[in-house]
Amino acid sequence: MPPAPRILLVGAGGLACEVLKNLVAFDISHLSICDFDKVEHSNLNRQFLYAQADVSRYKAEVAAAKVRALAQNRFTVSAHVAYVQDLAEALFADHDVVVAALDSISARSYLSQLCVAHKKPLIDGGSTGFNGQALLLWAAAGTECYSCSPKPRTREIPACSVRGVPHKPQDCVIWAKFFCSSPSATSCGSSVTSFRRRSERQSFTESRLFEYLRFFKVVVCSTLSHKR
């Protein structure tokens, strides 16, 4: 009987939580979990491995601890806090199967290239809009690498990658687009004012979000008004 495989999971978000739940029931010898993100409040409604007490802790470390407890030490688990581009190539050589649970096309493409170089099978899962997909990418099985297949030309930002509190310019644009149904400043002001009233009765995080929106909606609405 061949030895139980060593699994490398890259990503510890919503999809990874489902993958980890299933891996606990598998016959594996070791599991490595890689992710650089920390747990945020906005993750708790869909990433069930994390709880309120885990907020601001690294996902990879929290997930590794939870899986150890669930597996009751039937296999070893290690956590790696790093971006996929910073992972040592030796880590790939030390595993039998790589599983990708990423929302970045560039990260998935880079991971696919490493798996091709090290002749490792890559199981890639992800979503585009309301559609999900799972692929086996393995040269030995005659499949294309991730970069070899054509990709949509339209630049899209996965909804799951937009943070609850804006951290990047594109986060602010998406939030502003959501609350500003019309390019007129009047409509924007009305939408944000309505949101402020709701936020005063809700959580601290949403109140903070309003402060970001109030600042950014002035810029967005002014820009849209000039382009009309």
Edge to edge, the sheet with strand 6-10 lists: 76-80, 30-34, 6-10, 97-101, 122-128, 131-137
Using DSSP, state whether 101 is helix, strand or coil. Answer: strand
Is pLDDT at 202 greater than 50 in this prediction?
A: no
Between residues 50 and 87, the one the model is more confident about: 50
For residue range 126-143, list pLDDT tens digits in order. Answer: 876 677 788 888 877 777
Catalytic pick from 115, 145, 148, 160? Answer: 160
160 labelled catalytic: yes
Give the residues across from 9 on adjacent strands: 33, 99
- Annotated domain spans of the chain: 7-151+206-226
Determine the Cα–Cα distance for residues 166 and 168; give it in Å rounded to an integer. 6
CATH class of 7-151+206-226: alpha beta
Per-residue model confidence (pLDDT) at position 204: 42
Among the residue ranges 2-16, 104-118, 133-147, the one predicted with the least confidence is 133-147
Determine the Cα–Cα distance for residues 82 and 27; give it in Å rounded to an integer. 26
